[in-house]
Amino acid sequence: MTTADPPSPAGGLPAAGDRAGGEDGARDGAATAQLDGTWARDVRWWDVAFYVIVVLSALALLTAGVGDTALLVSLAALGTILLAYLAWGRRAARTRAQVPAHLYLVVAIAGTLVVVGQDALGTLLLFAVFTQIWMLSEHLWAQVVLCVALAAGTALALAFDPATGRVEPDELASAAPQMGVALAFALSLGLWTAHTMRQSERHARLVDALRATQAELARSHHEAGVLAERERVAQEIHDTLAQGFTSVVMLAQAANADLDRGAPDAARERLALVESTARDNLAEARALVAASAPAPLQGSTLGEALRRLATRFTEETGTRTELAADDVPGLSSAEEVVLLRSAQEALTNVRRHAGAGTVRVGLRHDADGTLLEVCDDGRGLPADAAEGYGLRGMRERVAAEGGSLEVGPAPGGGTRVGVRLPATGVGTGRTAPTRRGAVR
């Protein structure tokens, strides 16, 4: 029989074998789902293309003057291919199931060879079948074997003479090079497309993994922020409300003692301090809720806040307090809060543990920065004293501003607490007039 040049087969879409769980092992995410959605849309167009090729092949055979027997055989083969696609191939293209995929491909290759054996116009089917091999099969070895089988079988079918039932050597010599070129094109295009598709799948998984990592980091940062805020609020409560309540309890106990010994005037003074302390605590609570500056610093300088703190400490405890506070220029609000809270915590520790008769509070500014000192003449630190929550919180506050905390023996006995904040470059070397005094 006379042979016609077979068309160059399309490489088609590659198998998406890695989609179900490839080497990257990444869980399906938005990018992978988007790629799968693209695949699902493309499959519908491949359905249309396949049906068009089958219909065109049938029309070509009907109009080519093919003999009745050859026409019936060819149409029967085309119908078988179409039914096999509807039964197995179409489902395999959507589910990636390999058993129905290979059942269909075997039927499609056999049917194509039958049609080509009747007339060379059947080579139109090569466009569809070569494409479907790469689209449906997910194993490289199977794709190559099926392509070789289709190309070799087509060369034999083109050389087959239905009248004699023999393969004509001359026809085979003409068809073999043509199908060799078609096979080379199908393999090269198919392998390249498959590689590109697998790269796209790997990239989609990497994008999903990156997004998952970003989401995890965002959650971690959020949790860290929540923990940090919780720690900050706990420290604020410890440094303000808890200390205020401690003062209220101690003043109430002292007022009861005054009443027991028949000193109502002294008790009234204690109760007045209880009321004042409670009001201050209420102001601190409102400032904490509003996330504003501490109540003692609202509308006043750090030196004035320290003076009021020293006065209140003497009124509540009867301990002599000496204050030497410079007006320190250039401090940020955060630095002022750190120094004020440090002074409050240091005086609270004096109240609870020192048994001191005199406390000295000093604030000064020099070339190295700002120094806050609280010294008492009490019992001093035990050799095995452990650092409590208050000192740990003070150390963390100071460290957050780049400063340092020192706790040790004071000159002449007692305990010294020193907080140094580094110079910020604003106002360094300048000190305003000193206001010094003693609160008795």
430 within some domain? yes
Q: Give the mean pLDDT of the chain.
A: 78
Query: Do 317 and 439 share a domain, yes or no?
Result: yes
Single out the residue in 217, 251, 277 at which a domain terminates. Answer: 217
Query: Do 339 and 197 share a domain, yes or no?
Result: no
Task: Answer yes or no: is pLDDT of 108 > 50.
Answer: yes
Q: Is 13 buried (19+), middle (13-18) or exposed (0-12) by CB count in 10 A?
A: buried
Single out the residue in 217, 234, 260 at which a domain terminates. Answer: 217
Task: Answer yes or no: is pLDDT of 230 > 80.
Answer: no
pLDDT of residue 146: 93
Query: Do 28 and 126 share a domain, yes or no?
Result: yes
Query: Do 194 and 310 share a domain, yes or no?
Result: no
CB neighbours (10 Å) of residue 216?
Answer: 10
**How large is the average pLDDT for residues 236-258?**
77
pLDDT of residue 249: 81
d(CA 274, CA 268): 10
The pair of structure tokens assigned to 351 is 């109240």
d(CA 160, CA 172): 8
257 within some domain? no
What is the DSSP secondary structure assignment for residue 64, as one 8-state letter? T
Query: Do 208 and 319 share a domain, yes or no?
Result: no
pLDDT band at 3 (very low <50, low <70, confident <90, very high): very low
CB neighbours (10 Å) of residue 179?
Answer: 24
Which stretch of 28-37, 61-70, 229-238 has the lowest confidence by average pLDDT?
A: 28-37
Query: Do 211 and 336 share a domain, yes or no?
Result: no
274 within some domain? no
390 within some domain? yes
**CA nearest to 294, candidates 226, 342, 349, 229:** 342
373 within some domain? yes
Query: H-type helices in 140-263, by residue range?
Result: 140-159, 169-237, 243-260
The residue among 2 and 268 whose pLDDT is bigger is 268
226 within some domain? no
pLDDT in tens, 187-202: 888 888 777 777 877 8
Could you tell me the CATH number of the domain that includes residue 437? 3.30.565.10
Task: Answer yes or no: is pLDDT of 356 > 90.
Answer: no
- pLDDT > 90 fraction of the chain, expressed in percent and rounded: 18
The residue among 74 and 437 whose pLDDT is bigger is 74
Q: How many domains does the chain have?
A: 2
Query: Do 320 and 438 share a domain, yes or no?
Result: yes
pLDDT of residue 411: 83
The residue among 47 and 203 whose pLDDT is bigger is 47
264 within some domain? no
Task: Answer yes or no: is pLDDT of 72 > 50.
Answer: yes
Task: Answer yes or no: is pLDDT of 333 > 90.
Answer: no
Q: Which residue has 């720690």 as its token pair? A: 231
pLDDT in tens, 47-71: 888 999 999 999 988 888 778 888 8
Element (DSSP H or E) covering residue 265: helix 264-290
Q: Encode burial over 89-118: b for 16+ CB neighbours within 10 A, e otherwise.
A: bbebbeebebebbbbbbebbbbbbbbbbbb
Rounded to 5°, angle at Cα 345 from 343 and 346: 65
250 within some domain? no
Highest mean pLDDT among 94-103, 236-245, 269-278: 94-103
Task: Answer yes or no: is pLDDT of 434 > 60.
Answer: no
Host domain of residue 371: 300-440
**How large is the average pLDDT for residues 355-381?**
88
Task: Answer yes or no: is pLDDT of 104 > 90.
Answer: yes
pLDDT in tens, 404-430: 999 888 888 889 999 999 986 443 333
**How large is the average pLDDT for residues 291-298?**
60
